[in-house]
Structure 1
Amino acid sequence: MSKDIRIKKGLNINLVGAAEKTTSKAVLSNVYAINLLDFHGITPKMLVKQGAEIKAGEALFYNKNREDMRFVSPVSGELIEIERGARRKILTLKVLADKSQEQHTHQPLDAERASSEELKALLLKAGCWPFIKQRPYDIIADPDAVPKAIFISAYGTAPLAADMDYVLQGKEAELQAALTALGKFTPGKVHVSVGKASNSPLSGLNGITLHKVSGPHPAGLVGTQINKLDPINKGEVIWTVAPQDLIIIGELLLTGKFNPERTVALAGSSVKAPKYYTTKIGTEISTFLYGSGVNEENIRVINGDVLTGSKSSPDGYLGFYNNTVTAIPEGDDYEFFGWNKPVFNKISSTRALTFSWMQPKKKYKLTTNTNGEHRAFVVTGRYEEVFPMDIYPLQLLKACMVKDLDEMEQLGLYEVAPEDFSLTEFICISKQPHQQIIRDGLDLLYKEIG
């Protein structure tokens, strides 16, 4: 029996360009890249040198603070570039793929019979452990920690997000294997959330506590669900896993192979034929972006959704955790007297000269224009209207900015991740970078308290 979660606070951002439920196979990429910025807080130590030949699933580097945590190549080929930044910090690894792929294999494990230590050792060695993230701090999970619960959200409410019900179809065996394995890592529950009217393959699986979620964004964010079901207190840990990552974990357990396949939603108003593509982690975005065609020349390619994704280029590479790529018009134009006339073609949480509240289901073609400049925080009370957690968002943001550790703890920083503040950042009339402020606060808290 499921427990319903109904979210009232929030804001749906309805955009033109949702991906149609048809899937094509993306063109094979020549080069695949691993961006180390995806692994926040990890200090890499290389296991292979530039020019080395590697197999798909073979380790490229490990975590300096945890030597058995390996990060593997998505394809077989030659490591052609190790891009470095300041102080020789490794930024990106690029692999030139072979025409015929060779796979590095492991011994499969029966999730029902294997012990938690056997399962943990396989996930660490085979490169699947980075898919497991933890709260607090929104980092890769500590293998030595014992989480009080594990959360998976298969209900996407972000703008133009991939439809998990569609993407997960036919993957029940892999999903069940992964969920059975994860259940052995916690004495608590494995919480799985789906949409209220969902037909998700996750709904019929064993060993989970199912929740049906309804409401506007950010109802689908795992942080919102944690706050409503099992809030985090100081000293407690919760693990989270994305639904498509469950498939990769499950396939590893069943076959012994690391298969970094992704079904990516290519969406946005700048895409002529938005739809889904089957590809791999680290592929060149251009291998499927131009397959659907683009409407304008001056576009912004976003690696992820429009609220939490990062700016990319058509020649960029699919992020390790991303299952959406969005293309929208670049907002580099200036609107004359835009602040002093009625607005009909933009979304706003206020009713001051804006009329989006009169047509809640209308879809908009928005650009990247911020419609304002960065300024000091203005107290409006608007954040609380779209922030469903039992946390004071403005006060927490200010505590992070002044680096007040006691206030950050007391105001609930342990519970949140940067994505939880993506909507408050969107409606912020002060144009403050909320997600970066929270990220900096989490880093400071981890450094000082751990």
Structure 2
Amino acid sequence: MSNDIKITKGLDIKLEGEAEKALESAVISNTCTIRPEDFHGVIPKLVARVGDKVKAGGSVFYDKSNESVQFVSPVSGEIVDILRGEKRKILAIKIQADKTQVYQENEKINVQSANAETIKSLLLASGCWPFIKQRPYDVIANPQKSPKAIFVSGYNSAPLAADYDFVLQGKEAELQAAVTALGKLTEGKVHVSVKQGGSSPLSGLSGVTMHQVSGPHPVGNVGTQINKIDPVNKGETVWTINPQDLVIIGELLLTGKFNAERIVALVGSSVQKPRYFKTKIGSEVATMIYDNGVEQNGNYRVISGNVLSGKQVKPDGNLDYYSNLITVIPEGDDYELFGWNKPVFNKVSTTRAMTFSWLNPNKKYNLNTNTNGEHRAFVLTGNYEEVFPLDIYPMQILKSCMYNDLDEMEALGMYEVAPEDFALTEFVCVSKQPHQEIIRRGLDVMIKEIG
């Protein structure tokens, strides 16, 4: 049986501002910020306090519900501020970075001879475990459970996404060390997917099951690949890992150092010179955007991640813990007179009602954040099914999440979905419903009630 995955349902949103294949080092960030909200469901328990000195890879806090899962500092320096919200909830830990980085020394192990418990203990103690997520629930993996398979998507099909074939160049040794080690944590297979016809550094890995994917977005979403390769049923668990996080894990295994280096793509129509930057997790966004023609007081939106599922950040904010993409697009706070009643040539649409994007499938658009409509009740149009390749009924599962019917959510396939799987249905939704938020709330209810 062929390992190729080809889908026809989906939608490629072609935008202006794709990153040029050029890499440079970003301005060194003065501060690094860790936000516990990046780790959904984690209740942080602080290990360090304001004024404490930490090394790169030194523990900052751990998960109150699972004390073995450590969260570490991406840089060495001094903790200068701990921001709190209501009921003293920890919002952010800000670290003043040293000019010369000092790394926490972890144990180096031989991945070929090490057993599963040794590898798991190192990943937990070093702060690399949060890079491993699980389905169901799309949260940090439970180290007490063994997955039936591990999935790595080496192709990101989202709009203006970073090109993994480019950012992973020269990291073959780290990638191989990581997948060899992770393969010992599952009795199943390690599935790695790459773009068909591409030249990915992941293609040469041994000890993995390789898949070539093709088709429109969301073919690069790991959720799509899980659904087509080995769907998650009740009582089963699979793990997912981002390729750039594999590099961090591999470097830790080979050198004993937690090197939180990220290659970040700065993209979007509001960027004059879109390209790639080498930086650190949690670095200041301003160190990358202001040197690239982005006006400091311009009317734009900065997104940590892609335009479909990323998170809005302020221009003086920080990079999301898991993100390798910064998107800057115009703010959509202007409105068109009779915009609903005239032909539309400059927007993407899946319908042919007064819209003509279907005539130019390769045209790149300069879109803003305007939703072009207001929130209303669900309208049955059939548009969701056109862009949703999973073997799941999208409208029905969204409604079951809204009225919290756990039996129906289970029967419809909630165990294998994540919010990002519904980003496209949210984009084409004429009702302007927040699909990703609805799915996230549904998953949270399942965690609370089912566990």
Q: TM-score range by the shorter chain?
A: over 0.9
**Distance in 1 (alpha carbons) for counterparts of 2:337 and 2:112:** 64
How many residues in Structure 1 have an aligned counterpart in Structure 2? 450
2:415 matched residue in structure 1: 414
**Distance in 2 (alpha carbons) for counterparts of 1:135 and 1:348:** 31
Contact in 2 for aligned 1:194/1:213 (Cα 8 Å): yes
Moved over 6 A (4+): none
Q: How far did residue 339 of structure 1 move?
A: 0.1
Query: What are the within-5 Å matches in structure 2 for residues 346-361 of structure 1?
Result: 346-361=347-362
1:330 matched residue in structure 2: 331
Q: Structure 2: which amino acid aligns with 1:89?
A: K
SS of the residue corresponding to residue 21 of structure 2 reads strand
Q: How far did residue 438 of structure 1 move?
A: 0.1
Superposition RMSD in Å: 0.9
Contact in 2 for aligned 1:37/1:91 (Cα 8 Å): yes
1:236 matched residue in structure 2: 236
Q: How far did residue 301 of structure 1 move?
A: 0.2
**Distance in 1 (alpha carbons) for counterparts of 2:82 and 2:206:** 43
1:278 matched residue in structure 2: 278
Q: Structure 2: which amino acid aligns with 1:239?
A: W
**Distance in 1 (alpha carbons) for counterparts of 2:141 and 2:354:** 46
Q: What is the TM-score of this pair, normalised by structure 2?
A: 0.99
Contact in 2 for aligned 1:224/1:389 (Cα 8 Å): yes
1:147 matched residue in structure 2: 147
| Structure 2, gaps ≥5 residues long | none
**Distance in 2 (alpha carbons) for counterparts of 1:304 and 1:298:** 19
1:11 matched residue in structure 2: 11
Query: What are the within-5 Å matches in structure 2 for residues 24-39 of structure 1?
Result: 24-39=24-39
SS of the residue corresponding to residue 71 of structure 2 reads strand
2:425 matched residue in structure 1: 424
**Distance in 2 (alpha carbons) for counterparts of 1:2 and 1:34:** 42
**Distance in 2 (alpha carbons) for counterparts of 1:206 and 1:2:** 18
**Distance in 2 (alpha carbons) for counterparts of 1:70 and 1:182:** 18
Q: How far did residue 2 of structure 1 move?
A: 6.6
**2:194 is the counterpart of 1:188:** no
1:399 matched residue in structure 2: 400
SS of the residue corresponding to residue 68 of structure 2 reads strand
**Distance in 2 (alpha carbons) for counterparts of 1:425 and 1:273:** 30
Q: Structure 1: which amino acid aligns with 2:144?
A: D
Query: What are the within-5 Å matches in structure 2 for residues 72-111 of structure 1?
Result: 72-111=72-111
2:260 matched residue in structure 1: 260
2:70 matched residue in structure 1: 70
SS of the residue corresponding to residue 309 of structure 2 reads coil
**Distance in 1 (alpha carbons) for counterparts of 2:442 and 2:348:** 29
Identity %: 65
1:248 matched residue in structure 2: 248
**Distance in 2 (alpha carbons) for counterparts of 1:416 and 1:123:** 26
**Distance in 2 (alpha carbons) for counterparts of 1:271 and 1:109:** 43
1:204 matched residue in structure 2: 204
Q: How far did residue 38 of structure 1 move?
A: 0.6
Q: Structure 2: which amino acid aligns with 1:441?
A: G
Q: Structure 1: which amino acid aligns with 2:417?
A: V
2:132 matched residue in structure 1: 132
Q: How far did residue 226 of structure 1 move?
A: 0.3
Q: How far did residue 53 of structure 1 move?
A: 1.1
**Distance in 2 (alpha carbons) for counterparts of 1:2 and 1:352:** 39
**Distance in 2 (alpha carbons) for counterparts of 1:68 and 1:439:** 25
Q: Structure 2: which amino acid aligns with 1:442?
A: L
SS of the residue corresponding to residue 81 of structure 1 reads strand
Q: How far did residue 215 of structure 1 move?
A: 0.2
Q: Structure 1: which amino acid aligns with 2:419?
A: P
**Distance in 2 (alpha carbons) for counterparts of 1:159 and 1:236:** 31
Q: How far did residue 8 of structure 1 move?
A: 0.5
Contact in 2 for aligned 1:2/1:210 (Cα 8 Å): no
Q: Structure 2: which amino acid aligns with 1:173?
A: A
SS of the residue corresponding to residue 28 of structure 1 reads coil
Q: Structure 2: which amino acid aligns with 1:248?
A: I
| Structure 1, gaps ≥5 residues long | none
SS of the residue corresponding to residue 180 of structure 1 reads helix
2:344 matched residue in structure 1: 343
1:41 matched residue in structure 2: 41
SS of the residue corresponding to residue 206 of structure 1 reads coil
**2:369 is the counterpart of 1:376:** no
2:269 matched residue in structure 1: 269
Contact in 2 for aligned 1:174/1:251 (Cα 8 Å): yes
SS of the residue corresponding to residue 291 of structure 2 reads helix
Q: Structure 2: which amino acid aligns with 1:175?
A: L
**Distance in 2 (alpha carbons) for counterparts of 1:7 and 1:297:** 39
> Residues 73-99 of structure 1, C-alpha deviation per residue, up to 9 Å, x if partnerless?
011111111111111111111001112
Q: Structure 2: which amino acid aligns with 1:273?
A: K
